[in-house]
Amino acid sequence: MDIKKLVKPNIRSLKAYKAKEIPCRVKLDANESPYGFTILKDIKTNRYPDPEALELRKLVAKSWKVKYGNTLHGNGSDELIYYLINTFGGPVLYPVPTFSMYGIISQALNTKKIEVPLDENFDLDLKEMLKVIKAKKPKLTFLASPNNPTGNAFSVERIEKIIKASKGIVVVDEAYQDYSAKKSFLTLFNKYRNLVTLRTLSKIGLAGLRTGFMIADEEVVNEVNKVRLPFNINSLSQKAAVDGLLKKKEMSASIRSIVSERKLLFKEMRKMDGICPHPADANFILFKADNSDKIYKGLLKKKILIRDMSGAVKDCLRVTVGTPTENSAFLKALKQLL
Ligand SMILES: Cc1ncc(COP(=O)(O)O)c(C=O)c1O
């Protein structure tokens, strides 16, 4: 039996998101925080989790100064991207290169996607985006700011112009906002009803819990909530996320350390011949390297894992900011290879 023939054509030609464990000593490939927390409380494993994630959502709402009704929880923000595309459909517009899941999920849901290249500074090509918005009327536009894999935040004015010009929903994905000094769009749904902001706990030390949120107008939240699976965040994750978020001091300290280490990494990498790091507002740095393939493989031989991004941005690699020790090991190995 040819199983492939049973699969819908859009899924047949879809390539799965590449995520596998590669053994290494220094792990700087996945934009996680190197700092975790010891958290676990008594959990009743015989009971279903709270479908509304009440305690967690209340805490998130309080700390982000929005109302509970303006929040919705996802099993990572990945799941919310899925729900958003399922709810509003396409065309789905996004700049490229960007986070690959916007395209993968659109295709999985058989939804038309429109990709517009970023400009030469990896900022939004406003003219082209506005042209597409006017001509194609996308139902959804995804703007990851700070953007992955380029690392920079987009111009706030350009994002705002896109929101104003759009008749559809505009999603500002702020997965890396904790590492950025640029303005957040978190509470602007009060001004723009078509604005959804995505946040995740994955980049600030809680990636293993798979917990993300969308913040939006209550009506938008209610519509997306219709397609949410009832128990999408398990009890352990809900409890641990609450505990993690309450460790405010530790969390802020780890964010500060990563930002200052990023500056240091950037400074050191800029001094190296054959390496060109791109300015970063996230917890990672995209850099161009002569012989990027050799550098990636050379680092891996030394058990240092970073991410090969040459498929998305020519000759580019992406390194996540680690602990000071991990970053020194990376810099030392990179210097040796050069
Ligand atoms: C821009 C962006 N959005 C969303 C995500 C997904 O995060 P989560 O772990 O919450 O699913 C990532 C993860 O790499 C990302 O880079």
Residues in the chain with pLDDT < 50?
none
User: Can you give the C-alpha Rg of the chain in angstroms?
Assistant: 20
Q: Is 205 left (phi over 0), alpha (psi -120 to 50) or beta?
A: left
Nearest CA to ligand 1 atom 12: 175
Among the atoms of ligand 1, which is closest to the Cα of residue 202? 9
Task: Name the residue of 78, 204, 237 whose CB sits within 8 Å of the most ligand 1 atoms, as the mutation to test its pocket.
Answer: 78
User: Within 10 Å of residue 183's Cβ, how many Cβ atoms?
Assistant: 13
Among the atoms of ligand 1, which is closest to the Cα of residue 99? 1
Among the atoms of ligand 1, which is closest to the Cα of residue 30? 14
CA distances from 117 to 61, 110, 126, 197, 326 (A): 35, 22, 10, 22, 33
pLDDT in tens, 87-117: 999 999 999 999 999 999 999 999 999 999 9
For residue 78, the CA-to-ligand 1 centroid distance in Å is 6
Q: What are the tokens at 179?
A: 């590492």
User: What is the pTM assigned to this prediction?
Assistant: 0.92
Q: From CA 259, how far away is CA 327, in angstroms rounded?
A: 12
For residue 288, the CA-to-ligand 1 centroid distance in Å is 23
Task: Name the residue of 99, 174, 201, 215 whose CB sits within 8 Å of the most ligand 1 atoms, as the mutation to test its pocket.
Answer: 99
| Residue 142 backbone phi and psi in degrees, to 5 | -105, 125
pLDDT in tens, 276-320: 999 999 999 999 999 999 999 999 999 999 999 999 999 999 999
Q: Which amino acid is located at 207 in the chain?
A: A
- Residue 40 pLDDT: 64
Among the atoms of ligand 1, which is closest to the Cα of residue 79? 11
For residue 338, the CA-to-ligand 1 centroid distance in Å is 31
Q: From CA 201, how far away is CA 244, in angstroms rounded?
A: 9
Among the atoms of ligand 1, which is closest to the Cα of residue 78? 11
Q: Which of 112, 64, 321, 56 is nearest to 204 (CA)?
A: 321
For residue 259, the CA-to-ligand 1 centroid distance in Å is 19
Q: Burial level of 181, CB count in 10 A (0-12/13-18/19+)? A: exposed
Ligand 1 pocket residues where CB is under 6 Å: 31, 76-78, 99, 144, 148, 173, 175, 200, 202, 207, 212
Q: From CA 178, how far away is CA 194, in angstroms rounded?
A: 23
Q: Is 108 helix (H, G, I), strand (E, B) or coil?
A: helix
| Locus of tokens 């498929």 | 311
Q: From CA 26, how far away is CA 311, in angstroms rounded?
A: 23
In the Cβ-directed half-sphere of 267, how many Cα atoms lie within 13 Å?
7
Q: Burial level of 40, CB count in 10 A (0-12/13-18/19+)? A: exposed
- Residue 109 pLDDT: 95
Task: Name the residue of 122, 200, 210 whose CB sits within 8 Å of the most ligand 1 atoms, as the mutation to test its pocket.
Answer: 200
